[in-house]
Structure 1
Amino acid sequence: MEKIMIIDDSPVQAAHLKNILESDYQITTVQEPQMGLSYAREQDFSLILLDVVMPGMDGFVLLKKLQEEVATRHIPVILITALSDIENEQRGLTLGAVDYIYKPFHPMIVKARVNTHIKLYQYRKQVEYQSMTDQLTGIANRRRYERVSEQKWQEAIRLRVPFSICMMDIDHFKKYNDTFGHPAGDTVITAVSATAGRYLRRNTDFLARYGGEEFVVFMMGDSSRQAFEQMCRVRRAVEELHIPHSGSVSEWVTISAGGTTVLPKRGDSFDTFLKIADTMLYDAKRFGRNRVVWNDENMRQFSE
């Protein structure tokens, strides 16, 4: 069931809207605009119904804040208002509202407009999912990684929790392709991504295909030791698939991984720590492959 949030300082009006919609949708009602902004950041809403006239922070100001944040700008917003002049309607639409519902409203009109925008939102999500999914493996692609990286980074800053970035790739992959062919190489990439995905299934984990045989992982909230040990489990699980490799290189297909954990603060650059993770991957290769090398919160390196 799709989730809708109603932000309205009037409990009576919020309850009326909820009564109209709750048979078809999961409804959350909020009276405080700032609380509505927090809920929008933390939960997965398909639509927001936002009253324009509220004390303190009016609907226009809140709409602007929702549009400015990466985590909330994708949520469609319908403004609920008694202000029927063209100037206010133009202002709301310019700020990013998808529609207006005027007071006093008719239940059938509310249902019809909400249903239309929920369907549009679902269609857009499906199109976005397809455009941000790697066609070979079914995991996130480079495009989705670029969007999620900034979102997760800012979330870690806001929540003041550790953020781990890990780069991993398949050892001697060119040699594997040269020996067994590209279709077999695609099968290996798929097997590695599926294996990693079984260990990175929490809401705080993110796995994407970075390019070719290389992958990128985010973990939020884990210490450096916890993140390191999780990637060690992934590495061992890939080795235990026992996918034969060329005997002149190694017996089985393996991966190497390099990562870093940081407690990010405002002003820190995500790209700086991505480069550190990439350097750790380089060290894992240099130290003999089939291993994990990590950089902890105090910039100290350790490995398997």
Structure 2
Amino acid sequence: MTGNNDGHYQKQTVLIVDDEPANLQLLSNQLREEYLVLVAKSGQQALHRLETNNIDLVLLDIVMPDMDGYEVIYAIKENPKFKNIPVIFISSRTESEEEIKGLRLGAVDYIGKPFQPAIVQARVRTHMALKRRTELLDKISHVDGLTELDNRRRFDERLEYEWNRARRNGSPLSVIMIDVDFFKRFNDSLGHIAGDNCLRKVARVLESLVQRSTDEVARYGGEEFAIIAPEVDLEGISVLAKRCVTEVNDLHYPHPDSDVSAYVSISVGAATVMNISPEANARELVAAADQQLYQAKQRGRNQSCTILLNS
């Protein structure tokens, strides 16, 4: 979680997952003064909390109905968005085999029941401090320094994850490729500082259009951007692609040397895949969107083109 404007850290958020109300209450009372506390009474509810909140650490019971703690941590660690969130198991299963299993699945700690709340608090504090340092390193390796969007490396990781998920679930997956029109001319006319400001403004527009936590917007390289939109069909991605073009136009950011507009504009290519075959590759979807981007440029730029890809 990021710091606020006065340089102080905001409270980090702990998610407590346990089907026993008494345990939820005891741990919440112990941690609430130092952290924002959310609770979940089941594994499915925990995964929903992760999707809809910025969780910094998970305290996870193992023995729960329907979906046990091992299944929950597997789902957490499989998802690139959540895999770096520290998970501490709290369980009445104190056998060494259970602890080893939990640690192998990715837990950072294992606390047996009955637990001492002060011990839990101390362990949480330690792993929160480690998480802050990990986040700084992760930001360096996965965030674009200019636009503060995710970078190409993060995009590739998310694409692979969403591709595999869409193949398992039989759900659609869409990708958008975006290029700022005549950006080299913009840089040549106004200089690189103005060019950097232009890219930041375009990044903020694209970021504002991607509202779902499952979506991904990234700086793909140079003046290129990319969006991953899971479970969005051809009609939906066509609408989003057109909105990208319109919203950047509405910036009215002057471009002194564009052939298509007095303002900065973008060309957009989008592709959707349905019912992904086992032999298909995620790069095919990017290539299809890239080909549509080329078509948009060929047709005069400042527009979008979309295609349904048969995998």
Name the TM-score, length of structure 2 as normaliser.
0.77
Distance 1:262 1:101, change over 3 A: same
How many pairs are equivalent?
297
Which residue is 2:120 aligned to? 110
* C-alpha deviation, 1:208, in angstroms: 1.2
Q: Matched residues in 2 for 1:60 and 1:140: separation?
A: 30
Which residue is 2:148 aligned to? 138
Give 1:78-89 correspondences, 5 Å limit.
Answer: 78-82=88-92, 88-89=98-99
Which residue is 1:302 aligned to? none
Q: Matched residues in 2 for 1:161 and 1:61: separation?
A: 22
Distance 1:73 1:247, change over 3 A: closer
Asked whether the equivalents of residues 139 and 209 of structure 1 are also in contact (C-alpha less than 8 Å), the reply is yes
* C-alpha deviation, 1:276, in angstroms: 0.5
After superposing the two structures, state which structure 1 stretch, 103-112 or 71-80, moved more.
Answer: 71-80
* C-alpha deviation, 1:134, in angstroms: 1.7
Distance 1:41 1:153, change over 3 A: farther
Which residue is 1:261 aligned to? 272
Structure 2: which 5+ residue stretches go unaligned? 1-10
Q: Matched residues in 2 for 1:122 and 1:189: separation?
A: 28
Q: Which of the residues 44, 48, 53 maps onto 2:58?
A: 48
* C-alpha deviation, 1:131, in angstroms: 3.5
Distance 1:88 1:255, change over 3 A: closer
* C-alpha deviation, 1:210, in angstroms: 0.4
Query: Amino acid of the residue matched to residue 93 of structure 1?
Result: L
Which residue is 2:4 aligned to? none
Matched, 1:287 2:296: no
* C-alpha deviation, 1:280, in angstroms: 0.5
Asked whether the equivalents of residues 260 and 301 of structure 2 are also in contact (C-alpha less than 8 Å), the reply is no
Q: Secondary structure at the match of 2:118?
A: helix
Asked whether the equivalents of residues 206 and 217 of structure 1 are also in contact (C-alpha less than 8 Å), the reply is yes
Matched, 1:35 2:44: yes
Give 1:8-87 correspondences, 5 Å limit.
Answer: 8=18, 10-23=20-33, 24-30=35-41, 35=44, 38-39=47-48, 42-44=51-53, 45-52=55-62, 59=69, 63-64=73-74, 66-70=76-80, 72-82=82-92
Asked whether the equivalents of residues 274 and 310 of structure 2 are also in contact (C-alpha less than 8 Å), the reply is no
Query: Amino acid of the residue matched to residue 257 of structure 1?
Result: V
Q: Matched residues in 2 for 1:295 and 1:237: separation?
A: 21
Which residue is 1:245 aligned to? 256
* C-alpha deviation, 1:238, in angstroms: 2.9
Asked whether the equivalents of residues 67 and 73 of structure 1 are also in contact (C-alpha less than 8 Å), the reply is yes
* C-alpha deviation, 1:288, in angstroms: 2.2
Q: Secondary structure at the match of 1:80?
A: strand
Q: Matched residues in 2 for 1:218 and 1:56: separation?
A: 31
Distance 1:226 1:55, change over 3 A: closer
* C-alpha deviation, 1:182, in angstroms: 2.9
Q: Matched residues in 2 for 1:233 and 1:54: separation?
A: 44
Query: Amino acid of the residue matched to residue 280 of structure 1?
Result: Q
How large is the RMSD of aligned CA atoms in angstroms? Answer: 3.5
Asked whether the equivalents of residues 21 and 27 of structure 1 are also in contact (C-alpha less than 8 Å), the reply is no
Query: Amino acid of the residue matched to residue 287 of structure 1?
Result: R
Q: Matched residues in 2 for 1:141 and 1:67: separation?
A: 21
Q: Secondary structure at the match of 1:290?
A: coil
Which residue is 2:159 aligned to? 149
Name the TM-score, length of structure 1 as normaliser.
0.78
Q: Secondary structure at the match of 1:219?
A: strand
Distance 1:47 1:157, change over 3 A: farther
